[in-house]
Amino acid sequence: MRRCVWISAVVLALFAALVPGVSAHAAGERRAVPLPLERLFDNTAVSDDARPAAADFDGSGASLSAQDLASAGWTPGRALTVQGARLTWPDRQPGEPDNVLAAGQDVRVRGRGDALAFLVAGTAGSDVGAAGSVAYADGARSAYRLTAPDWRTGPLATKAVALPHINTPGGQLAERARLYVVTVPLVPGRQVASVRLPQATGLHVFAVAVRSPAPGWTGSWAAATGGYPTVGPWTDRTLRLVVHTSAGGPRVRLRFDNTFAAGPVRIGGATVAVQQSGAAAKAAPVRVSFGGAAGVEIPAGAQAYSDPLGFAVPADTNLLVSFHLPGTVPAAPVHRLAQQRSYVSEPGDHTADLAASAYPTVLTSWPLLTGVDVGGGPGSVVLLGDSITDGDKSTTDANRRWPNVLATRLLNQSAVPRYGVLNQGISGNRVVSDRYPGDGVSTDTAGVSALHRFDPDVLAQTSARTAVVFEGINDVRWDTTAEQVIAGLREIADRGHARGLRMLAATILPCAGEARCTAAADAERVEINAWIRGAGVYDGVLDFDAVVRDPAQPSRMLPAYDSGDHLHPGDSGLAALAQSVDLRALVP
């Protein structure tokens, strides 16, 4: 949807000269003297609850609550990592200018990376966006399009944080205010010198930064957050999560995400170890740090990476990632269907325990932890999917999901790079519809749509080289048309290509015999598969439908591959999917 269109400096100069209210001379001056964003602040968005008239974010006197922001952990000058980009919330007090109304200003920005990240919101009543440009140190320029959802009506599914109130001079409104992080592509490898903001009425920019890739890291394990359900509540408990690596390496770092949350969460300390069995470690767990500290507080909607740790991570092996939650955690961002037993401790910090005795409670989900990266390696393949990718109906604790089998195949060959494999499947997920609304405590953990989660769950993943999209069965089972699914799959391909990813699509499996897999649903599925095979939009096709269907009844799975519910393959069917992948198709 947001393909990066490269344009020459001459065309850009003509564009600048033709933009209403911006002369070529003024544009040249801005090109010559780009300023840090904070020196361009010309709007005040944040007010103290006791003095709401001190800010006017939207031109009608409404503003964000400083108290709500503080409750979310968004305090002045705080660094926030969102979608892998490190942004700083403006270091301004309530009532002081704290954002820029985008009007073609040139902003000094430095760095090399795959994307620019903007912390934005619109105040026009609907999405607001326009074209901007990037200037590189070598004189090259590229164009981008930035669109900001509205702070009062934009989708909660894609917001970085939502606040419970809006301040007005007439009193506080119990209405949710939204802020967004939006990323746009950069030319890989080039040093950014400055960024020209769009000319867009009502588009507010609070921060901008280059999202720098993590050189020397490969994603080995990942899980996508599907919702924000009640948990525990956990007070002074240690969670010991069992995760299975794909690639191995001599160093490790962990990623924790406070996705969908309304407030910060505190991790008191964390360790990593190789699993012996159950909650028992093979050797003493090794402590990780966060910015040199033992623990970290993660603001609402943000993430935290541990410092690099010299720790030999074996490939194709279970790790124990243990972290202490010293406060009370009544709800948490969760990947529900782990198909893996993890553990919760009795009270106390048991992150360093070698034995399993302090971990009496079994946990069948993965809260908070979303990534394990290893040093070195060639990068990662990201698998965006639903319950079939998530491993539903595979054997618990056996790591027989099709991504696991694919990872083992990669490790046992030398014809192509031994990529890490990142499983971003969410049970119940759809291409074009949100199951979880994206905000608040919910019993639904089937996630926001693939369209809405593509940026954080694919584009922002460590060292992503290739993405496989394997979704759509839940859409057609719940009456989404083939036309709508195809439009969503096309947009996903476009967005991946704009970031330089190799994009593969897998055909949708047959499921006749399952209650919602009607003849009408199957007709939509067949139409989508025909498009995947023939449209040429993706760089390659994994024809999973052809692998598992019954030749005598093409709308059904072969009995040997059926888990018994006619929708999900069992272990043998999942293995057949992974074995059918031409590994050469994964290479960019």
DSSP string of 124-192, one letter each residue: SSS-EEEEEEEEETTS-EEEEEEEE-BTTTS-GGG-SEEES-EEETTEEE---EEEEEEEEE--TTPPE
- CA diameter of the chain: 73
pLDDT for the residue numbered 32: 52
The two structure tokens encoding residue 384:
């965006």
**pLDDT the model gives residue 34:** 98
Q: Which residues pair with 272 in a beta bridge?
A: 286, 321
Give Cα separations from 502 to 184, 465, 536, 585 (angstroms). Answer: 17, 7, 13, 9
Q: What is the 3-state secondary structure (H, E, C) of 527-543?
A: HHHHHHHHCCCCCEEEC
Q: What is the rounded (10 degree) CA torsion for 585, 385, 381, 181?
A: 130
Give the pair of three-digit tokens for residue 110.
Answer: 């430095």
The C-alpha atoms of residue 186 and residue 113 are separated, in whole angstroms, by 7
User: Per-domain residue ranges for the chain?
Assistant: 9-211, 225-370, 378-588
Q: What tokens were used for 310?
A: 């010299």
DSSP sequence for 551-585:
TTEEEEE-TTTB-SSSSSB-HHHHHHHHHH--GGG
- Per-residue tokens: 462: 């460590």
Residue 291: exposure state from Cβ atoms within 10 A (0-12, 13-18, ≥19): exposed
- CA proximity to 84, closest of 257, 330, 239, 218: 257
Which residues, 6 or more positions from 552, have their beta carbon under 8 angstroms from its beta carbon?
Answer: none
Tokens of 157: 């599914």
CA 472, 475, 479, 484: dihedral to nearest 10 degrees? -70
Helix (H, G, I), strand (E, B) or coil at 90: coil
Q: Distances in Å between the alpha carbon of 101 and those of 10, 116, 166, 566?
A: 26, 18, 19, 54
Say how many C-beta atoms besides its own lie within 10 A of residue 59's C-beta. 12
Total length of the chain: 588
Nearest to 263 by CA among 313, 333, 193: 333
CA–CA separation, 455 and 427 (whole Å): 19
The answer as to CATH 3.40.50.1110 being correct for domain 378-588 is yes
Residue 392 makes CB contacts below 8 A (sequence gap 6+) with: 337, 339, 427, 568
Tokens standing for residue 317: 């092996």
Q: Give CA–CA dist 69/80, Å, rounded.
A: 13
Helix (H, G, I), strand (E, B) or coil at 346: coil
Question: What was the pLDDT predicted at 190?
Answer: 96
Which residues partner with 111 through β-bridges? 192
Backbone angles phi, psi at 438, to 5 degrees: 100, 5
Q: Characterise 83 by phi-psi region: left (phi > 0), alpha (psi -120 to 50), beta (else).
A: left
Contacts of 233 (CB under 8 A, 6+ apart): 328, 329, 330
Residue by residue, what is the 3-state secondary structure of 200-215?
EEEEEEEEEEEECCCC
pLDDT of residue 17: 32
Beta strand segments in 365-461, E: 366-367, 369-375, 380-385, 420-425
Per-residue pLDDT of the chain (588 residues; tens, 9 = 90+): 333 333 333 333 333 333 333 333 334 434 559 999 999 999 999 999 999 999 999 999 999 999 999 999 999 999 999 999 999 999 999 999 999 999 999 999 999 999 999 999 999 999 999 999 999 999 999 999 999 999 999 999 999 999 999 999 999 999 999 999 999 999 999 999 999 999 999 999 999 999 998 889 999 999 999 999 999 999 999 999 999 999 999 999 999 999 999 999 999 999 999 999 999 999 999 999 999 999 999 999 999 999 999 999 999 999 999 999 999 999 999 999 999 999 999 999 999 999 999 999 999 999 999 999 999 999 999 999 999 999 999 999 999 999 999 999 999 999 999 999 999 999 999 999 999 999 999 999 999 999 999 999 999 999 999 999 999 999 999 999 999 999 999 999 999 999 999 999 999 999 999 999 999 999 999 999 999 999 999 999 999 999 999 999 999 999 999 999 999 999 999 999 999 999 999 999
Which residues lie closer than 8 Å to 48 by C-beta, 6 or more apart?
54, 66, 67, 94, 95
Q: What is the pLDDT of residue 213?
A: 83
